[in-house]
């Protein structure tokens, strides 16, 4: 018995040396500092596990469906990380999963993919719909802009970013995963290719002597990809056995029930939300894929979500609301206007500036201005993560002002009215001359 235990510990030690290159370089988009050394083993001897290895191994076997859930020292490490060091992250995933899992399951079934792939998004984005990685990948499924546009026809520009549309991105992710599995014929290699790209996986296969499985090419993969599949296996375990590790959801995240309309052409979102009777913040939460305060004129069949509790009112007043929201106040022909003030104050976005001071960073400035870091970067087209002293930042705040009812001037009618005035003046002059005579 003692001999077997010593052999097991020796094997763990050898495995530790073999996998010592995994230093936690993988940093998910939801928080780059969240997981700083995900697979780091303390040096000086075999790891001391808090959870019985046999327990995890048996449970993974029972849990395994289509995708292999291998047990080894690496997957065990990640189970313990998500169970102890990062238990708060696991809890957040439990609290948010019900928003997206029904959608994931729907599309996985549509494309005939394994149901357990729904756990992959937790590793990709931490279920943050507007997550952006340090390389520019975005959304729940972390698509790069080039891939999103070129391979899946998503619109990604300064007005609309369909990577943030949960349904659009999930559909594309399922197509991509199906394509990768068809290429490699192995789910672990398909997952690795999703993370680092199929070319890098094929290169690793060549470098590792033609091995055709994930663990066979493990040593030849980039550091973050080495951690990717083990994290997926560990998260699959935690989502099913979290109760046994004293992790349970406390504050469930509830989605806002919504109905949708398709919009083509210009649409002022501030006007739409105000006239329908809900806040602009609610509109933004329901439509993370719309990253501007309006839809441009070249919009084609853009899906706009409205809260279900206001949708009947919108439907009853659809024509009036849409007519008002389609008025482009920046159009040249509307620059000259007659305005009437009403007593009813309404919120209007007002532009402000902030000059960066010494010691400021994106996090402190965004908190001071009441914005998210991503929103601040988007408004000021900041690509990096640093600010320079004296830099002027632009931001917007809603301020209450009296509502102005704008009347469009007809240039032709203005010309006619001027002619009438001139004609009247001429008539009056003629009359005066006659009286003098």
Contacts of 280 (CB under 8 A, 6+ apart): 269, 270, 273, 274, 293, 347, 398
Contact 273, 279 (CB under 8 A): yes
Q: Tokens for 393, please give them.
A: 């930042």
Q: What DSSP element (H or E) covers 268?
A: strand 267-268
Query: What is the spatial distance between Cα 53 and Cα 58, in angstroms, rounded to a whole number?
Result: 9
Which region, left, alpha or beta, applies to residue 19 given φ > 0 means left and ψ of -120 to 50 means alpha? alpha
Which region, left, alpha or beta, applies to residue 112 given φ > 0 means left and ψ of -120 to 50 means alpha? left
Q: Which is nearest to 381 in space by CA: 393, 367, 369?
A: 393
Contacts of 149 (CB under 8 A, 6+ apart): 155, 156
Other Cβ atoms within 10 Å of 234 Cβ, number:
28
Contact 247, 91 (CB under 8 A): yes
Say how many Å lie between the first and final Cα of the chain, rounded: 136
- Catalytic residue positions? 124
Q: How far is CA 118 from the centre of its chain?
A: 16
HEC letters along 361-417: CHHHHHHHHCCCHHHHHHHHCCCCCCCCCCCEEEEEEEEEEEEEEEEECCHHHHHHH
Angle of CA points 200, 206, 211, to nearest 5°: 105
Query: What is the spatial distance between Cα 437 and Cα 433, in angstroms, rounded to a whole number?
Result: 6
């Amino acid at each position: 018995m003692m001999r077997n235990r010593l052999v097991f510990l020796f094997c763990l030690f050898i495995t530790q040396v073999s996998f010592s290159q995994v230093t936690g370089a993988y940093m998910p988009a939801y928080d780059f500092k969240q997981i700083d050394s995900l697979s780091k083993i303390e040096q000086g001897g075999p790891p001391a596990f808090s959870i019985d290895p046999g327990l995890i191994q048996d449970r993974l076997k029972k849990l395994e469906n289509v995708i292999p859930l291998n047990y080894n020292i690496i997957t065990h490490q990640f189970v313990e990380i998500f169970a102890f060091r990062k238990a708060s992250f696991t809890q957040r995933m439990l609290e948010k999963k019900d928003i997206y899992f029904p959608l994931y399951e729907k599309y996985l079934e549509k494309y005939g993919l394994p149901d357990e792939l729904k756990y992959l998004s937790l590793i990709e984005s931490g279920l943050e719909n507007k997550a952006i990685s340090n390389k520019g990948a975005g959304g729940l499924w972390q698509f790069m802009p080039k891939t999103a546009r070129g391979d899946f026809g998503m619109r990604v520009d300064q007005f609309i970013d369909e990577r943030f549309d949960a349904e659009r991105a999930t559909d594309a992710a399922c197509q991509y995963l199906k394509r990768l599995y068809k290429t490699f014929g192995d789910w672990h290699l398909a997952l690795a290719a999703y993370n680092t790209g199929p070319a890098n996986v094929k290169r690793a296969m060549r470098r590792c002597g033609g091995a055709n499985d994930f663990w066979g090419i493990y040593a030849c993969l980039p550091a973050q990809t080495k951690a990717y599949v083990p994290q997926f296996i560990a998260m699959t375990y935690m989502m099913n056995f979290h109760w046994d590790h004293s992790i349970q959801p406390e504050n469930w995240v509830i989605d806002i029930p919504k109905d949708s309309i398709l919009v083509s052409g210009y649409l002022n979102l501030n006007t739409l939300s105000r006239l329908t009777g809900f806040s602009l913040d609610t509109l933004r939460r329901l439509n993370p894929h719309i990253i501007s305060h309006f839809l441009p004129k070249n919009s084609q069949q853009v899906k706009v979500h409205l809260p279900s509790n206001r949708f009947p009112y919108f439907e009853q007043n659809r024509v009036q609301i849409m007519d008002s929201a389609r008025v482009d106040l920046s159009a040249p022909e509307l620059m000259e206007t007659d305005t009437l003030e009403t007593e009813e104050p309404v919120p209007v976005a007002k532009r402000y500036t902030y000059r960066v001071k010494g010691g400021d960073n994106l996090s402190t400035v965004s908190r001071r201005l009441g914005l998210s870091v991503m929103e601040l970067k988007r408004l000021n087209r900041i690509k990096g993560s640093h600010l320079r002293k004296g830099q002027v930042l632009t931001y917007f705040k809603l301020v209450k002002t009296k509502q102005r009812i704008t009347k469009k001037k007809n240039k032709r009618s203005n010309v006619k009215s001027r002619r009438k005035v001139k004609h009247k003046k001429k008539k009056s002059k003629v009359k005066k001359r006659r009286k003098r005579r």
